[in-house]
A and B are shown apart, each in its own frame.
Chain A
Amino acid sequence: MVPGEANTSLAQMRRGAVEYCVLALLRDEERYGFDIARALSGEDPLIGSEGTLYPLLARLRRNGWVATEWRESSEGPPRRYYFLTEEGRTTLTEFIERWNRFKTSIDNLLDGEADRS
């Protein structure tokens, strides 16, 4: 394997999974952009740079999975809050099911290989 290839594959997976992580962040509460960005950029960040969250949010909105509402905030100007739509909730539930199956089969294979070596 070319050095760094595992890293690239992981980056692609992260890219694919991050949309659903955003949906998951909105499962129980509505949040504003900065809040979501910080939740995604922890120790092992799920987004490359925080700014890339916004094109992603726009995509989720166009898919009809999230919607927004402007709300006055206690400090400063009104903020745009994101929340899950019914369609978004269904999408998230489906993803979680598929993800769990995917995770289990990958884990089984990886653990099996580790046991043998």
Chain B
Amino acid sequence: MSPELEQIIDEYLSRMDKALVGMPAGRRDELMSEIHQHIVDAQTAESAPNLASLRTVLDRLGDPEDLAVEAMENEGRTKVRPKRARSSAWNSMSRRSRSLIATAGVLIIAIAVTLGALSLGGTAKSSNGVLVPNLIGESTAKAAAQLQRSGLVLHIVRVPGVENGFEAGLIFSESSGPGRRVPKGSTVVVHVATPRH
């Protein structure tokens, strides 16, 4: 995929990541990685993946902030289990207040992101972003250190019981294409194989 397309995907994922505040890290990583995989699969299914097809794929996925709200609402709307789940404050709130809070959260973040983008705009343009290092085969500790130096955010998704020879503890897949330039502060999602319990 071309760097231009990769950047659009990264922007989409970053917007969603930022809107998913308050979601437990594990669930959030999982959702991010699924959405990323969906985009890659959708583009792979195209005979000629290009900007137009990517726009369609993202349109069909939906607005990243809306998806974040949906996902967070969903957190409180689980379990049809026989034993009644302990109800948290979030669960016992009415649907309406939950969605109000979620919407307010998203709005605050949207404003914060806009302000951040405005203040960073100048620097990002002049330096043309940072280079994404190749993290495949690295340990998470090494990857974290590398990304920190580059001013990027690491999101680790642990994949239990990956078979077919992925070495446990090492990164086997990375959301951003290594060697590309992305805006500082972008999120790089990596998958790490962990042994099955």
Which residues does A use to contact B, with CB under 8 Å? 32-35, 37, 41, 48-52, 54-59, 62-63, 69-72, 75-80
Known: A32-B37, A51-B62, A55-B67. 13 other contacts (CB 8 A): A33-B38, A34-B41, A51-B70, A54-B35, A54-B38, A58-B27, A59-B74, A59-B77, A63-B78, A70-B162, A72-B163, A78-B166, A78-B191
Q: What distance in Å separates the Cβ of B18 from its nearest Cβ neighbour in chain A?
A: 16
Contact between B34 and A54 (Cβ–Cβ < 8 Å)? Answer: yes
Which residues does B use to contact A, with CB under 8 Å? 27, 30-31, 34-35, 37-38, 40-42, 44-45, 60-64, 66-67, 70-71, 73-74, 77-81, 159, 161-164, 166, 172-173, 191
Q: Bound complex: CA of A38 vs CA of B173, how far in Å?
A: 24
Contact of A79 among B31, B41, B163 (CB under 8 A): B41
B contact residues around A51 at 8 Å (CB)? 35, 38, 61-62, 64, 67, 70
B contact residues around A55 at 8 Å (CB)? 31, 67, 70-71, 73-74
A49-B66, A49-B67, A70-B162 given; A58·B41 CB < 8 A: no
A contact residues around B67 at 8 Å (CB)? 49, 51-52, 54-55
